[in-house]
């Protein structure tokens, strides 16, 4: 097993708002797809070469939450750059950039839909 996680989905209620939020903070275009009565937007990932993929999903049974599983998104070289965009994009930082020793830095935010999401970077 190369990765403990191979896919993740972040539930959303307002697909358009959530897509704009994540496109803004990550600085990347998400790829939209509709299937099985759900709207999805996938984050960039090279899954053919072992990268972990995931995205946002709006559909029956998908409920945003501040509780439960916490996914950490790649914060790039320095997660401070993404954190500067979170509140402007409609989110709220709930754990600012925090050192975690030799493992780099982490932070938590509440997205535009009410989900708690983590960020991780080495700087």
Domain-located, residue 60 = yes
pLDDT of 89 strictly over 90: yes
pLDDT of residue 102: 94
Q: How many domains does one find in the chain? A: 1
Residue 56 structural domain: 7-121
Over residues 62-86, the pLDDT tens digits come to 999 999 889 999 999 999 999 999 9
Domain-located, residue 62 = yes
Q: Exposed/middle/buried for 103, CB within 10 Å: 0-12, 13-18, 19+?
A: exposed
Domain-located, residue 2 = no
Domain-located, residue 1 = no
Q: What is the domain-level CATH number for residue 45?
A: 3.10.180.10
Domain-located, residue 104 = yes
**DSSP reduced 3-state for 4:** coil
Q: Exposed/middle/buried for 16, CB within 10 Å: 0-12, 13-18, 19+?
A: exposed
Over residues 9-63, the pLDDT tens digits come to 999 999 999 999 999 999 999 999 999 899 999 999 998 888 899 999 999 999 9
pTM reported for the whole predicted model = 0.89
Domain-located, residue 64 = yes
Q: Cα angle vertex 114, ends 103, 76, to 5°?
A: 30
Select from 38, 51, 46, 43 the least CA-distant residue to 19.
Answer: 43
């Amino acid at each position: 097993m190369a990765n403990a996680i191979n896919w993740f989905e972040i539930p959303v209620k307002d697909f358009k708002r959530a897509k704009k939020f994540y496109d803004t903070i990550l600085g990347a275009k998400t790829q939209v797809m509709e299937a099985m009565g759900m709207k999805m937007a996938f984050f960039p990932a090279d899954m053919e070469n072992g990268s972990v993929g995931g995205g946002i999903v709006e559909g029956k049974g998908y409920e945003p939450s501040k509780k439960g599983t916490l996914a950490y998104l790649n914060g790039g070289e320095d997660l401070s750059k993404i954190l500067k965009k979170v509140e402007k994009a409609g989110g709220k930082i709930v754990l600012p950039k925090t050192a975690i020793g030799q493992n780099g830095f982490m932070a938590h935010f509440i997205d535009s839909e009410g989900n708690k999401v983590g960020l991780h970077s080495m700087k």
